[in-house]
Chain A
Amino acid sequence: MATLFWVMTCGGALIWAGTVAVLLYAVRRRTLYSEPAASRLIFWAGAVFPAITLILLLGYALWLMPSLRPLAQPGAPTLRIEVTGRQYWWRVIYRQPGTPPVVSANEIRLPVGERVEFTLKSDDVIHSFWIPALGGKMDMIPGRENRLSLRATKPGTFRGPCTEFCGTSHALMAFSAVAMEPAEFRQWLAGQHVPSAGATGTGARLFIRHGCGACHAVAGTEATGMLGPDLSHLGSRETLGAGILPNSQDNIARFIAEPDVIKPGVQMPGFDMLPPDDIEAIASWLKGLK
């Protein structure tokens, strides 16, 4: 892919410079060219040269395509990640044969060096899934299921923005993709199967009492809502609000009180009518869900 880009950029720059040079020469020179000579220029530079260049380029690009977007591999892949676009966040479900699925949101972790199959869906409007550092984008279209296979080659955290305009806060819809060493990744995934150690306590009671569980799920509590992001291990995520704020207790409290200010058009209603102490308690509890 990088080679294709550099071939096209350098080739394009040369062609541009060459054509503009001929154009400037045509404007400035003093000698007159005969009509047949000028017609030959049209034929060679206008028709033959672009035809040959484009055929070569096209052949090269088509030859690259299968390696960039492999068709379904024989045999089930070991790890499949289902990502569903929502206004304006992402539901992420890790599916592995033989274990129950792990539900998360707005952060995608994947093992370095392994091919991961993504299943891409949407529940409301069209979104588009893209991790620029790992590969091309793929739309998430209601009523359709798209597939994309990606492989991270080195560990790190990459930003992934939504790239199809999806409404008021399209600009505020992103996620982080964290590529981890495979062993570390398996350990992390195993941890996601069990509720967070801090799942019980005062915060949990307030969370349930104020009705947060109608939309959000937290493993190990009565909160099992599916309308909003799963918050079972919120404290361990790097960002908040689908990749737009650093994950801190203050930011969680702010999001609870006035989500619409942070993210215009968000579905979640604001809870600024709650006592500030309750908001702080819930925020601190959520931050503790590692």
Chain B
Amino acid sequence: MSAPAKKLPKADLEAQAERLRAVWANPTGWRYWTTVNNTQIGLWYASTAFAFMLFAGVLALIVRAQLAVPDNDLVSADFYNQAFTLHGTVMMFLFAVPIFEAVAIFLLPPMLGARELPFPRLGAFGFWSFFLGGTFVCGSIFFNAAPSSGWFMYPPLATDKELSGIGADIWLLGLSFIEVASIAAAVELIVGIMKCRAPGMRINLMPLFAWYLLIVAGMILFAFPPLIAGDILFEMQRMFDWPFFDPARGGDPLLWQHLFWIFGHPEVYIIFLPAIALMAMIVPTFSQRPIVGYSWIVLAAVGTGFLSFGLWVHHMFATGLPQISLAFFSAASEAVAIPTAVQIFVFIATMLAGRVIFSTPMLFGTGGIAIFILGGLTGVMVALAPFDWQAHDTYFVVAHLHYVLIGGMLFPVIAGIYYYYPLIDAKHLSDRMGRSAFWLMFVGFNVAFFPMHLAGLRGMPRRVFTYPADVGWDWMNLLSTVGAFVLAFGVLVVVVDILRPKHRQNRGEQNPWNAGTLEWISEPEENWGVRSIPHVESRYPLWDQKNLARDVNDGRFYLPDAEEGRREGLITSVLDGDPMQVLRVGGTSYVAIFSAVSLGAAFIALTFHWWIATAVSAIVCFCAILYWLWTGTAEIPEKPAKDVGLGLTLPLYASGPASVGWWAMFITMVGDSTAFASLVFGYFFYWTIHPDFTAGIAGPGMPWPMTSAVLFLTAWAATFAARQLNARGFVAGMRIVLLLGLMLTLVASAAGFAGPWSHGMDPTAHVYPAIVWVLVIWVLAHAAVGAVMQAYCLARSFAGRLTPVYDMDIRNIALYWHFMAITAAIAFAVIGLFPEAV
């Protein structure tokens, strides 16, 4: 089955290719911007993230210029605070994380032998959200309205309207918008990696880059929701004075620190692991052999991912937590060094066992590793509480984190740019400029950041806009400033190398580095990813499978044609990569960009408290998304199955766990439940810090919450029963039961609302009513979505788009309702039972 089919005559091949090309073509003219093709979206995404990096780099140069000499007054204290806050925020949220989502969107389909990721319109939606949100956040500094409370936004400084101004709202809302886009990208990448691999690519044959991205996307799913939960609490305090972080009314500033760092520490590994993933592609290519210790590196990456969630308290060693927890988190923080060391030695071992070709990507890669190791070692130092008490919040930590992030992320990214550039336009970047850039960056970096260790040890705190002349920090700061400009010059050389015109250069060969992985088959001129979808039998198919590139390009594998004029890809099984289904993905459409713009407008209007504009934009966005779902998803194919070539016929429709939509819903709801769990954590956190958490304020009582919980469970049962009835062909019964479920949802929501409402709970009075209301609102918002879903399925059934055979919609909403039932049961049990029962 895996042997390539017979080659067709040339004319037939040409006709096939022409049909395929037409199907995957980008629109022309100004409509070009509505394309959803992963190659374009990936490139735009990466270029935007890179541009944000350059912007944040300029902010860093302003910061360094101000600190060059003591008592400097180049910029005002307030501008300086905006600059360093925005520098950290942009580098973390708008460069380090998105650049890898971008690279993954660009690279994963060709690397996995797929035509596209499963949800191309979602990818486009994510990009436009990122573009808008990022521009909004960055632009604020030109209006003197940028956030100025540090990228960590600690309350009460950042919750106090007089001390933090509108900048804090821009930070909260602008970034929440981007976090949603990040989670969308994570869902897309997880489903893409699990379900869209080429046939035969079992999970243990997957390229390491895909492994890493799978792990990282999973981490995003658990790390970002706590921050989103924190953002909700934060914005409720800023906008409506709900006292979550106000100690005078029972709140506690430390809850934010917990939620922020539960996100913030995994974030570091979310940034670092994909960079290592790029190295895991580059090192084998330039050692001209497969990686040594494939299982070692995969296990180490998984281990790093897990451990990274147990380290957050090391950012809080000086907050006065009990010593026993400091000891625990010191130990966990040290432990993460072990899988990191394993990954580095996997690279060294691969180089030892191969013949190393020392190219520009390798230069950046090894230089980055050398820098990163030093940052890792200072990390081992600051992870120990006794040392951290001295080093915490000093320039020692500034030095540490830049060694880790620039060595562990920026250098590998530039290595990746030099390595993968031929895939973009079949041209090469200049080796000479690359090497000059490397040495400028390497020397500049060390000159800039090494002295910061000393400044920190001599007591220089972070985030100071100036420092006195007589305390002995002068020469180190001057040196750092000089180094920073040299580093920036090196980055500039890279930018010039990328942007300089290359039309005189001849078209390069297809696989210039003689790499072993599938992405090197793809041709930059074509949008289809792969001409035909190959059968993969090895981790390095281009090395091990003879003539693979030629056979793929001769259309001798799966899906070489597009007879029905649709964009099609293969869905395979998660573990073994057995072909299961032909997936038709969405093509060019206005709907993605339109939804993103209207959602962005809603967030921006909310920042300025323009309530009507917010409501209008939100309704427009809601309608756009409904239109998108109605016209673009769960489409009933014109025939049940089609011949994909090589004697294989696959279904065109799947529902339930066999479909990508079901997986996307499941993964989204796991993230959603994590955010909910973070709110419940908040509830118990307040309880544990106070002797009487309710402060004598009446709770929602037991009857209403219990009634609501029971009603929600019956609504869930009705939805589930509707799914079963539909599957058995009782369409009328399904409609009646679903309508009943819809009404139960509405009644259950009213009962849920009645609890705190009938007891007159005032959320601005104390943190107890505030957190109760937040949990209730969370459930009600989800119930509203659940009700829309029930109504949507009813409408689909009446429209003939949902039938007993083609039942993807109702299976997906039943899945949503499983999570909804758990959420409602937990929320009402918590608010109804706990204050009474204990």
Interface residues of A (CB under 8 A from B): 1, 4-5, 8-9, 12, 15-16, 19-20, 22-24, 26-29, 32-35, 37-39, 41-42, 45-47, 49-51, 54, 57-58, 61-62, 64-66, 68-69, 71, 87, 124-126, 128, 130, 132, 135-139, 141-144, 146-147, 159, 161-172, 244, 264-265
Contact = CB atoms under 8 A, between A and B. Distances in A.
A124 B330 contact: no
Given A141-B320, A171-B77, 11 more contacts: A12-B380, A23-B348, A23-B351, A26-B351, A27-B362, A32-B354, A66-B323, A128-B393, A161-B461, A165-B154, A170-B463
B366 A4 contact: no
Contacts of A58: 330-331, 334, 384
Contacts of B467: 171
Contacts of B252: 143-144
A38 B487 CA distance: 35
Nearest to A46: B345
Contact of B319 (A15, A139, A167): A139
9 contacts: A23-B366, A32-B355, A39-B349, A51-B338, A54-B338, A58-B330, A58-B331, A143-B248, A143-B252
A136 B465 CA distance: 23
Given A132-B459, A143-B248, A27 B366 contact: yes
Contacts of B247: 142-144
B387 A8 contact: yes
Contacts of B154: 125-126, 164-165
> Interface size bucket, B side?
35 or more
Contacts of A161: 459, 461, 464
B349 A41 contact: yes
A54 B334 contact: yes
Contact of B318 (A35, A136, A265): A136
Interface stretch (B19-27, B369-377, B425-433): B369-377
B253 interface: yes
B149 interface: yes
Given A16-B377, A265-B78, A50 B341 contact: yes
A68 B381 contact: no
Contacts of B254: 141, 144
Interface string B304-337: 0000000000000011100100110011001101
Contact of B150 (A46, A87, A162, A165): A165
A91 to B, nearest CB: 18
A46 B342 contact: yes
Interface stretch (B56-64, B155-163, B511-519, B714-722): B155-163
Contacts of A8: 380-381, 384, 387
A139 B320 contact: yes
A47 B377 contact: no
Interface in B408-467: 458-459, 461-467
B76 interface: yes
B378 interface: yes
Given A42-B292, A168-B81, A143 B385 contact: no
Interface of B: 76-78, 81, 148-150, 154, 156-157, 160, 163, 247-248, 251-254, 292-293, 296, 318-320, 323, 326-327, 330-331, 334-335, 337-338, 341-346, 348-356, 358, 362, 366, 369-370, 373-374, 377-378, 380-381, 384-390, 392-394, 458-459, 461-468, 471
Contact of A69 (B163, B292, B323, B465): B323
A4, A37, A58, A87: which has the most chain B beta carbons within 10 Å? A58
A162 B461 contact: yes
A39 B292 contact: yes
A251 to B, nearest CB: 14
A20 B373 contact: yes
Contacts of B471: 159
Given A39-B292, A138-B320, A163-B393, A19 B344 contact: yes
Nearest to A11: B377
Contacts of B330: 58, 61-62
A126 B390 contact: no
Contacts of A128: 318, 393
A54 B337 contact: yes
Contacts of A143: 247-248, 251-253
Contacts of A168: 77-78, 81, 148
Given A27-B351, A32-B355, A265-B78, A12 B346 contact: no
Contact of A165 (B160, B323, B353, B463): B463
B440 to A, nearest CB: 20
A65 B323 contact: yes
Given A42-B342, A128-B393, A159-B459, A34 B464 contact: no
Given A42-B292, A54-B335, A125-B163, A164 B393 contact: yes
List 10 tightest A-B contacts by C-beta distance, closest first.
A136-B389, A143-B247, A46-B345, A171-B464, A38-B349, A146-B320, A132-B459, A26-B351, A12-B377, A46-B342
A212 B669 CA distance: 59
B373 A19 contact: yes
A57 B320 contact: no
A163 B320 contact: no
A74 B72 CA distance: 49
A164 B353 CA distance: 49
Contacts of B319: 139, 141, 146
Nearest to A166: B157
B384 A165 contact: no
A5 B387 contact: yes
A243 to B, nearest CB: 9
A87 B345 CA distance: 49
Contacts of B388: 136
A144 B354 contact: no
A86 to B, nearest CB: 13
B77 A42 contact: no
Contacts of B334: 54, 57-58
B377 A15 contact: yes
A144 B381 CA distance: 28
A125 to B, nearest CB: 4
Contacts of B338: 46-47, 50-51, 54
B157 A165 contact: yes
A132 B390 contact: yes
A126 to B, nearest CB: 6
Nearest to B250: A143
Nearest to B350: A38
A122 B87 CA distance: 28
A4, A46, A54, A143: which has the most chain B beta carbons within 10 Å? A46
A265 B390 CA distance: 28
Contacts of A146: 319-320
Nearest to A15: B377
A165 B462 contact: yes
A177 to B, nearest CB: 12
B320 A45 contact: no
A129 B434 CA distance: 46
B353 A34 contact: yes
Contacts of B149: 165, 167
Nearest to B248: A143
B593 to A, nearest CB: 38
A139 B318 contact: yes
Nearest to B334: A54
A23 B293 CA distance: 17
B386 A65 contact: yes
A66, A144, A147: which has the most chain B beta carbons within 10 Å? A144
A34 B350 CA distance: 10
B513 to A, nearest CB: 16
A24 to B, nearest CB: 8
A22 B378 contact: no
B236 to A, nearest CB: 19
Nearest to B353: A38
Contacts of A66: 323
A91 B251 CA distance: 24
A137 B466 contact: no
Nearest to B460: A161
A265 B346 CA distance: 53
Contacts of A47: 338, 341-342
